Amino acid sequence: MENPIVVVVATVAIIALSAFFVAVEFALIAAKKHRLEDIATHSRSGRAALRSASELSVLLAGSQLGITVCTLALGAITKPAVHHWLTPVFSDWGLPYWAADVAGFVLALIIVTFLHLVVGEMAPKSWAIAHPERSATLLALPMRAFMWFTRPILIALNNAANWLLHKVGVEAVNELAGGQDPDALRQLVQHSVSVGALDQSFSAQLEGALDLGRLQVRDLIRLHPPVAVPADATVADVQDASRRSGHLRILVGPEAEPTGLVHVRDTLTAPADAPLGDMVRPLYVLEPEVTVLAALALLRASGSQLAVVRDRDGTLGVLSIADMLRGLFPEQAAA
C-alpha cells in the first residue's frame, strides 16, 4: 500500500480503534460499580456499562483482542509503508542500499511504536483512569456491539485462559471485588503513618475501628468481678452498691449467673426499703465468640448498654459499650 493518503487514513483509524479498546479496558477497571448503578437508572449507556462490568473477564478478552488486531494491522500496513518511504531518502543521502534499508526499517519501527504506544495506549489509558464512569458509559454501547459480534471467540479465549489459571491453582473471577477488606485498609493506614501522610494519633483510632470486625467480646471482658445485688435486694442495696462501685447499672441475682439489671436512676424516687420489682430490666447475654461489631449492633437494637458474656460453663464477665470504646480507643476513653 503505497498511497500516502490511504496509509495515513488507515493508520489514524487503527490507532483510534486501539485507543478505544484501551480506554474501555481501563475505564471498566477503574469505574466504581455503585456509580454505574446510579447512572444506569436513567441512561441506556449506563446500563450497557453495568452489564460489561458484570462480565469483566469477557470484556477484557474483547479489549485485548481488539488491541492485538490493531497492533498487527499497524505492523502490516503502516510500518511497511513508512519503511518504503524512508529507504529512498537515506539512499539519496549517499548510504548504500542495504544501510538505507536497515535505517528505514528501524526508524519506521520507532515511529509506528511511538504512535501506537503514546497515542493509541498511554493517552486513552490516562483519560479513562481520570474519568472512569464517564468514559465507561460513553464507550459502552459500541463495545457491547463488538462483544456481541465476537462473543463466541471471546468466550473461547476466556475459557482457555481460565483453564490455564485453574491448572496453576488460581480461581478466575468475572468481576472486580468491591471495596477493601480490613487488612488492606489497615496496611494502608500503617503505610500512611510511615510516610508521614497520617498523624500517629489518628492511626490508633482508625486501626481500632478496623478491629471491630474481627475482635471478639471475649477480648474486651472486664477483668474485675461484676457488681450484683441479690434478687430480693431493696432500693437501698442498689444505691449502696452503686456508691461503692461507681457503676450506674447494677446486676441482679447471683454473681455467677445474674438474671437482670437495674439502673440507679430508676431507684431515685422510690423508698429506700422498696423492693426492686418492675425496676429490674432484662439482661442481654452475649456469647464470647461474637465480634465487637456484631455486639454493638445487638446492644443498639435491644436498647441495652450492658451485656453479660456467658458460655456453657457460666458467666465470664460483663461488657458495656464503654468497655468496647475503651478497648478500641484507649486514649480517647481515658480522656
Q: Which domain holds residue 227?
A: 215-334
Q: Is the pLDDT of residue 18 over 80?
A: yes
CA atoms within 13 A on the CB side of 264: 17
* Residues 133, 25 share a domain: yes
Is there a contact between 289 and 266 (Cβ–Cβ < 8 Å)?
no
**What pLDDT, in 10s, does the model give residues 205-246?**
555 566 556 667 777 776 456 678 888 888 888 888 888 877
Residue 77 falls within a domain, yes or no?
yes
Residue appearing with cell numbers 447471683: 254
**What pLDDT, in 10s, does the model give residues 118-173?**
888 889 988 988 888 889 899 989 999 998 988 888 888 888 888 887 788 776 66
Strands 281-282 and 260-263: antiparallel
- Please, which residues have CB within 8 angstroms of residue 37's CB and are 6 or more apart in sequence? 50
Q: How far is CA 166 from the centre of its chain?
A: 24
Q: What is the structure's pLDDT at 210?
A: 60
Q: Is the pLDDT of residue 254 over 60?
A: yes
Residue 174 falls within a domain, yes or no?
no
262: β partners = 250
Q: How far is CA 261 from the centre of its chain?
A: 42
* Residues 140, 39 share a domain: yes
Q: Which of 211, 231, 247 is the last residue of a domain?
A: 211
The radius of gyration computed from the CA coordinates of the chain, to the nearest angstrom, equals: 35
* Residues 246, 204 share a domain: no
- C-alpha distances in Å from residue 139, one per residue of 48, 134, 143, 294, 303: 9, 9, 6, 43, 51
- C-alpha distances in Å from residue 298, one per residue of 193, 222, 282: 33, 19, 14
**What pLDDT, in 10s, does the model give residues 21-42?**
999 988 888 888 778 878 888 8
Q: Which of 137, 167, 197 is the last residue of a domain?
A: 167
Three-state secondary-structure class, residue 85: helix
* Residues 63, 125 share a domain: yes
Is there a contact between 237 and 272 (Cβ–Cβ < 8 Å)?
no
Count, in order, helices (H) and strands (E) of the chain: 14, 7
Query: For the whole model, what pTM was predicted?
Result: 0.53
Can you list the alpha helix ranges (DSSP code H) found in 177-261? 182-194, 200-210, 235-245
Residue 309 falls within a domain, yes or no?
yes
- Please, which residues have CB within 8 angstroms of residue 116's CB and are 6 or more apart in sequence? 15, 18, 70, 71, 74
Q: What is the mean pLDDT of the chain?
A: 78
Three-state secondary-structure class, residue 223: coil
